[in-house]
Amino acid sequence: MEFLNTRIDDNPGRNDWVIGVIDVVRGRSASEGRYRFSCSVNFDTGQVRSVEIDPRRQ
């Protein structure tokens, strides 16, 4: 798995979210797909509260 374009969501009220894109790769070069992700994070403790992963639309 490779994380791409990862950033802090700066929309009002969502300051504790990390969003981005992941590439899922199986084997040396066989890509399984690209997905969008968002996770709610407690930045004080580093604990991930929840994760959402969705297929990325082309």
* Tens digits of residue pLDDT in 32-52: 788 999 999 888 888 999 999
Asked if 16 and 3 touch (Cβ cutoff 8 Å), the reply is no
Distance CA 21, CA 26 (A): 17
Residue in the structure block whose two tokens are 């490779």: 2
Domain boundaries, the chain: 2-55
Q: The pTM is what? A: 0.70
Asked if 22 and 49 touch (Cβ cutoff 8 Å), the reply is no
Residue of 3 and 30 predicted with greater confidence: 3
Mean pLDDT of the chain: 83
Residue in the structure block whose two tokens are 């509260």: 49
DSSP state of 58: -
